[in-house]
Structure formats: structure tokens, C-alpha cells
Amino acid sequence: MSLPTCLVVYDRGSASAVAVLSAARGVCEVVFLRLRREDAAASELWGIPEDARVVDAVGLSEDDVCELAATLRPDGVAAFNDYRLHLAARIAERCGLPFHSPKTVPALTDKYLQRTLLNAAGVPSPRARLVRGVDDAVAAVADVGLPAVLKPRNGAGSVDTARVDSLGQCRTHIAEFRARGSGDLVLEELLTGDPSVAGEHWGDFVSVESVVRGEDVQTVCVTSKLPLAPPFRETGHVLPCTLSERDQAAAAAVAVAALRALGVRHGVTHTEIKLTPTGPRVIEVNGRLGGYVPVLLRRAAGFDLVRTVLRLAVDEPVTVPALVWKRMEFAYLPAPPVAARTLVSWNDVRPRDLPGIRSIELRSRPGRTLDWRDGTASSIALVHGTATTHDEILASLAELNARWNVVYG
């Protein structure tokens, strides 16, 4: 009996092409829809096995892509990138397949619309105001209050995201970010975290990974974070999390309420939650896998989230098991200081020389220009590691940073 076919609307995102092919074994045949010819995402597709199916849709209009997809007669559609959710939703609708509906996708990708819907439904989330230019600053600050956070209306990875403490600072950042091409922006309430919930050495926010099929929302896990690098750049993820069972349940309940308020009915989602003195509050809901989480989850508990996405795509029922943690896993993204403009040097550090470090993927070379406005993409490396306790994770990172001795200019 042949396997069903899943059409992956491909772009660089939370799962690589190789990871998708590996997860698909025994579940489905994968067809990649290529939309770019020359960039990092395209190069990933060139690196997959020669017998993998890739359909070229470079340069086609959305309507033409949908018609092309329909001729392939897929049994499912998947996407691992925020910017491709809309196209994947249109393809799924054209082919009569389960996915986020085209009406739901804006609620998952438009930060202003998302906050509006969450607040209207009574889901604890930040106040927000749409900002289209410098002239909107006065009204936005009056509505939201200070301090606040300014960020792109449609964006990811903390790109062009800054803290705002005054009206003048708000105007400056609006002009700056729009000049960089961020388009419409959102000014939203700065949520105050409670460091005692996760622990003083950990981030005061978590993410909740969920599986949604119709009315059924299953929580896979709650993922802890390393502390943010200023202004709001993520520096790492840890599984299992540091929260008590009660606090995990509270975060999961808020995530479920947010998914229902936004009308999400299909797929694996990643909801970021701030741990505040008054309880968990939604930072944002993402209609796709969270970056780095699938690798950590597979290594720590043997559960494959990428495989789950594909199973859902071909409409196969999924029951999330009670996870058994075999070990602790972490991903670390060292971020340059805000004032850093270039990477000058660092010591040659190898994983085998450090306890608990699995791998070090260098993302920078001496001389690289650095800019905090690039968000998470400004990180200089990706470090994966393993441990038996949370304290061991902290010790491994402390030793790594001490030996690395990174110098910035």
C-alpha cells in the first residue's frame, strides 16, 4: 500500500528539508514546493537526496501556485515558516485539505490583529496599538502606556524590536525601523515578568507546544528559555522545563484559550507565554513549530514534532503520550551586546573540551558586522548540549562563555 503524499510549502524555518524527509519515513511521501531559487532555503533543497521530489514554483503568482499544487493531488499540506502559512492555507483550501483556514492565518501572523482578538476574548495578553508612522506615536503611547515594546506588525525572530521608555524614543525607533523596511509596527504593553516562577537564572517566559485537531487541543510540553539578551533577543531553549507542574498547567491553559480565541483548528503550534506576578499572559501565538524545539524534544523524550506535523497534514489522528524525559537538552544562541558593531575574535573552543556540549555551529567569523536590530539572527553561534540537571546546564554554559572569551568591536 502506497503512502499518502504531503506537499511541503518550503522555506527556511523551524524544520530543515533533511529533518522533514527523516520524519516522513513510514508516514508519507514528501513533495517540496520550491519558491526561491537563490538563497539559504534554496541551498537546503539542493542538499537533499537526488530522489527527493522538488517541484519548482519560483516566480509563479499565488493563483498559479495553487493550480500547480492541485495538479499534484497531495493528501496533505504543511509549512514550517510564518511567511508561507498564507500560501499553504490557500493551497489546502484549493485542494480540500486540512490546514489553517485562510481566515485564520492573519490572526497568526498579524500581531496587531492577534492582540485585538485575544483581548476581545478575555485572554490575558498585552494592550497594543497599530503604528503606521511617526505621527501615530502620541496616540499609541497614550493608549498603551510606558514602558512599552515596539515591533513589526508582521515579523519574527525579534527583528526590529525595541523597548520604548519615552515618546521621543518611540518616534526615533518608528522612523528607524520603517527605514529598514519593517512596514507597519505595533506598540504593545511591556509585560513585567516574575523571575521566581521559572527560577532566577532562567528566562521569565516559556513556550507551549500544542497539537490541534478540530476541537481537540493537546499540550505536548512547556519549554523553558534562557534569559533574553537586550532588548528582546532569545538566547536559548531548555527541555524539560524548570516550572512546577502547577505552573506548567497554568501556562498550558492560557495557550489553549488563546488558540481557541484565534480559531486555530489544525496543526502544531508554538505559543509564547510571559510568567508575570498575576499569572501567565500570552506574548504571541505562532501557527507553526517553534524553532529548535523539535530537536530538543526528540533527544530529551523521543517525541518527534516534525513527524507529528506530517501525520496531522495527511489527516492521521495523533495522540500525544505522557512524555518520559530521558535527559535534559538545551540550545544556546549567544547574542552580541547591543553596542557591538563587529566580531573581533574568539578562542577556538571544541565541544569535546567542554562537559555537556554536544555541538557548536559557528555562525560568524571575525570581521562580521553586527546589528542588534537583526534580532535572533545576530547570534554568533548555535550550541547544543545535554545534562542530567538544570544546574549542570548553567555550569556548562558558564564554562563555555569563560573559555570562549569573545571580543567585540
Contact (Cβ atoms closer than 8 angstroms) between residue 362 and residue 343:
no
| Strand pairing class (128-131; 185-189) | antiparallel
Query: Which residue reads 557548536 in cell numbers?
Result: 360
Q: Give the domain-ending residue among 189, 213, 231.
A: 189
Domain count, the chain: 3
47 pLDDT above the threshold of 90? no
pLDDT grade for 12, boundaries at 50, 70 and 90: confident
203 and 168, same structural domain?
no
User: Does any domain span residue 114?
Assistant: no
DSSP 334-374: ----TT--BEEE-----GGGSTTEEEEEE---TT-B--GGG
Residue 37: its pLDDT value, please? 76
pLDDT tier, 115 (very low <50, low <70, confident <90, very high otherwise)? very high
Predicted local confidence at residue 146, as pLDDT: 97
Cell of 224: 523553558
Digit-coded pLDDT (tens) for 188-237: 999 999 999 999 999 999 999 999 999 999 999 999 999 999 999 999 99
Kindly state whether residue 118 falls inside one of the protein's structural domains: no
Strand 76-79 relative to strand 162-164: parallel, antiparallel, unpaired?
unpaired
- If asked whether residues 76 and 223 sit together in one domain, one would say no
Distance CA 15, CA 7 (A): 14
Q: Is 75 helix (H, G, I), strand (E, B) or coil?
A: coil
pLDDT at 144: 97
Per-residue model confidence (pLDDT) at position 43: 65
CA–CA separation, 171 and 185 (whole Å): 12
- The helix (run of H) or strand (run of E) holding residue 107 is helix 105-109
**Percentage, residues of the chain above pLDDT 70:** 98
Mean pLDDT, range 133-152, rounded to an integer: 97
* Same domain, residue pair 403 and 305: yes
Q: H-helix or E-strand containing 189?
A: strand 185-189
What separation, in Å, do the N-terminal and C-terminal C-alpha atoms of the chain show? Answer: 60
Average pLDDT over residues 148-155: 96
Kindly state whether residue 116 falls inside one of the protein's structural domains: no
Indicate the residue type of 70. Answer: A
Judge whether 120 lies within some domain: no
Q: What is the pLDDT of residue 38?
A: 66
- For 180, the 3-state DSSP assignment is coil
Whichever domain contains 183, its CATH number is 3.30.1490.20
Regarding whether 267 and 296 lie in a shared domain, the answer is yes
Instruction: Give the confidence band of 304 by pLDDT, cuts at 50, 70, 90.
Output: very high
Asked if the structure places residue 104 within a domain, the reply is no
Asked if residue 91 and residue 20 are part of one domain, the reply reads yes
pLDDT digits (tens, 9 = 90+) for 162-193: 999 999 999 999 999 999 999 999 999 999 99
Last residue of a domain, one of 189, 213, 230: 189
User: Which 8-state DSSP code applies to residue 376?
Assistant: G
Q: Which pLDDT score is estimated for 40?
A: 58
Asked if 202 and 167 sit in the same domain, the reply is no
Q: Is the pLDDT assigned to residue 401 strictly greater than 90?
A: yes
Q: Which three cell numbers stand for residue 129?
A: 496599538
> In degrees rounded to 5, what are phi and psi of residue 290?
-80, 145
Q: What is the mean pLDDT of residues 308-327?
A: 96
**Three cell numbers written together for 367:** 570581521
Instruction: Please compute the mean of the pLDDT values over residues 71-92 and round it to a whole number.
Output: 96
CATH of the domain at 337: 3.30.470.20
Whether residues 380 and 269 fall in one domain: yes
Residues 39-55, mean pLDDT to the nearest whole number: 73
Q: Which of 191, 346, 201, 180 lies closest to 254 in space, CA to CA?
A: 191
- From the list 102, 84, 83, 82, the residue with the least C-alpha distance to 93 is 102
pTM score of the predicted model: 0.96
- Residue 13: per-residue pLDDT: 84
What pLDDT does residue 364 have?
Answer: 86
Sort residue 45 into left (φ over 0), alpha (ψ -120 to 50) or beta. Answer: alpha
Task: Find, among 127, 158, 125, 165, the residue nearest to 143 by Cα.
Answer: 127
Q: Which three cell numbers stand for residue 312?
A: 496531522
CB 127 within 8 A of CB 143: yes
260 and 323 co-located in one domain: yes
The parent domain of residue 43 ranges over: 5-99
Mean per-residue pLDDT over the chain, rounded: 95
**CATH number, domain containing residue 45:** 3.40.50.20
Is 106 within the bounds of a domain?
Answer: no
Question: Is the pLDDT assigned to residue 52 strictly greater than 90?
Answer: no
State whether 204 and 337 are in the same domain.
yes
Shared-domain flag, residues 290 and 388: yes
Residue 39's pLDDT is: 62
Say yes or no: 62 and 92 in one domain.
yes
In a domain, residue 219? The reply is yes
Which of 146, 165, 189 finishes a domain?
189
Determine, yes or no, domain membership for 113.
no
Residues 78, 162: one domain? no
Of 42-56, 286-300, 334-348, give the lowest mean pLDDT range: 42-56
CA-to-CA distance for 207 and 216, rounded, in angstroms? 19
For the segment 307-332, the average pLDDT, to the nearest whole number, is 96
Percent of the chain residues past pLDDT 90, beyond the cut: 89
